[in-house]
Every structure is written in C-alpha cells, then in structure tokens.
Amino acid sequence: MGIELSHRPNFKSMKDRMFKGILQEVRDVVTEVREDIIANSVNKGVDYQGRPFEGYSPRYQRWKSKRTESVAKPNLFLTGHMMGGIQVDAYQEGRKYIGRIYAISNVVASRIKGNNKTRKFFAISKKSRKDFKERLINFIGGNLK
C-alpha cells in the first residue's frame, strides 16, 4: 500500500518562460554599453578602461580651436557624425543570443577605426563583459520564478 505522486515537467514551457524577452534584454544591455562608450569618450575623455585620452597634437589643437570652443581634453565629438553613427542590434543564432554594437556605414567605421588607434574607445572591458553575462543569467533566472 502506498501513495505515489508524479509530475512530468513541460520543459518546452519552461524554456519558453526562461527566454521570454531575452532578445529585448540583450538589446537593452548593448544600448547601455553604447551609451557608456559615447558618454566616456565625449564627456569624460577616457578610453574603455577609464584611462584619459592622449592629448591633441599642437597642430590639431589649433585647427580644432577654430571649429569648437573646447580643446582642453579630447572628446571625439567634433560634428557628432561618428558617435551618432554607432548603432545596436540583438539577434539569435541557434542557442546563442548576440548583442552587437556597430557602425552604420563604412564612413563611420573608418572614422571609428582611425580614432581607435590612438584613443581606444570602441571596445568593451572585461568587467563589462562579465556584467553582461551576469545580467543575462539573472534575467533568465528571474523568469523562472
């Protein structure tokens, strides 16, 4: 004599709940990273690891002073075209969720590449990568509650 209880879990339903909204969460995370890249390079004049940018050359400083008010510290925002041309996207490949930060055109990409040689701003620190993974793990775990 005995009582038996059984339950067959619906793993498909669980999987659907776990990953519901994850693409939007990935997009939100990479949007925040893009905003950090722009804020650091424009407002703070620092690279992706928080180090101050190398100063302008005297020749460029004279040229830039005729076009803008501030030449005290590099900020990579003369016209706004380069920073305004940084976009984000999120997509899924198989079981992998990918957030992408990219230049909208070859012109913007070449500006980023040129500036990135001396002032490394278009990159992600190890800490930011770790934060990204932890945030997604917490998001997925929160969907199971």
DSSP string, the chain: ----------HHHHHHHHHTTHHHHHHHHHHHHHHHHHHIIIII-B-TTSPBPPPPPHHHHHHHHTT-S--SS--S-SSSHHHHTEEEEEEEETTEEEEEEEESSHHHHHHHHHHHHHS--SS--HHHHHHHHHHHHHHHHHHT-
Q: What is the pTM of this model?
A: 0.73
1 is a domain residue: no
8 is a domain residue: no
3 is a domain residue: no
Q: How many domains does the chain have?
A: 1
74: domain range? 14-143
106 is a domain residue: yes
39 is a domain residue: yes
Print pLDDT tens along the chain (145 aa).
Answer: 667 665 666 667 767 777 778 888 889 998 998 898 888 887 888 888 888 988 888 898 888 888 776 777 777 777 778 888 999 999 888 888 888 999 999 999 999 999 889 888 888 888 888 888 888 888 877 766 5
7 is a domain residue: no
35 is a domain residue: yes
